[in-house]
């Protein structure tokens, strides 16, 4: 489970992102998950479930080796997106893939063993964070661009941008306030 704290809003929001799941069993009365209230969920039916629910059902074993369902990597971490990240991390609009992209990635990596994905996410984060540092120190142009670039950042990156920008602003503020008195 998430170790980052029970009350961490970001962790909660990360866990509420939808993951594609395939049911291995027919479950009576669970039809309301797919909008068919009162019906059963059929074996082999595909549903988008929140990460916390899917994880619970995929990890718990009932009767030997069977689980309720199997999870797949979400679209945000699909081959298409990963290839785009490999080609040029800076141009991918992560927020459109998932608002908590890196959080989702880290959580999925706990469940799936994907060495390559760790590499790619690390590289992506590194390359994009340098871009963020540059933009945060020189943010005047961003406003005139209409904040379009900001809309492509996921939540982690936004927090990074904010703290980076605040560092520079706080220093400037101190210089200004200490010049007055």
Q: Which residues bind other proteins (CB under 8 A)?
A: 4, 102-103, 105-106, 109-110, 113, 115, 118, 121-122, 125-126, 129-130, 132-134, 136-137, 156, 159-160, 163-164, 166-168, 170-171, 173-175, 177-179
Buried b (16+ CB within 10 A) or exposed e, 82-115: bebbeeebeebebbebbbbbbbbbbbbeeeeebe
Q: Closest CB to other proteins among 35 and 180?
A: 180
Q: Closest CB to other proteins among 39 and 134?
A: 134
Q: Closest CB to other proteins among 41 and 121?
A: 121
Shortest Å, Cβ 125 to other proteins: 6
Shortest Å, Cβ 87 to other proteins: 19
Shortest Å, Cβ 92 to other proteins: 16
Contact 142, 150 (CB under 8 A): yes
Q: Closest CB to other proteins among 17 and 164?
A: 164
Give me the residue label for tokens 């200004």.
Answer: 176
Q: Closest CB to other proteins among 43 and 123?
A: 123
Shortest Å, Cβ 3 to other proteins: 9
CA-based diameter of the chain, in Å? 75
Contact 52, 16 (CB under 8 A): yes
Shortest Å, Cβ 46 to other proteins: 25
| Structure tokens, 164 | 């980076």
SS (H, E, C) 134-168: HHHHCCHHHHHCCCCCHHHCCHHHHHHHHHHHHHH
């Amino acid at each position: 489970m998430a170790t980052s704290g029970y009350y961490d809003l970001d962790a909660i929001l990360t866990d509420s992102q939808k993951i594609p799941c395939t049911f291995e069993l027919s479950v009576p009365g669970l039809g309301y998950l797919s909008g068919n209230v009162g019906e059963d969920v059929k074996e082999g039916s595909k549903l988008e479930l929140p990460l916390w629910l899917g994880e619970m059902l995929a990890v718990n074993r009932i009767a030997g080796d069977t689980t309720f369902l199997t999870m797949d990597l979400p679209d945000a971490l699909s081959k298409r997106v990963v290839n785009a990240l490999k080609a040029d991390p800076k141009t991918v609009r992560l927020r459109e893939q998932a608002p908590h992209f890196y959080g989702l990635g880290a959580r999925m990596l706990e469940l799936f063993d994907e060495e390559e994905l760790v590499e790619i996410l690390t590289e992506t984060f590194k390359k994009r964070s340098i871009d963020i540092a540059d933009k945060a120190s020189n943010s005047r142009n961003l406003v005139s661009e209409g904040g379009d670039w900001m809309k492509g950042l996921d939540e982690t990156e936004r927090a990074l941008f904010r703290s980076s920008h605040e560092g520079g602003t706080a220093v400037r503020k101190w210089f200004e306030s200490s010049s007055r008195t």
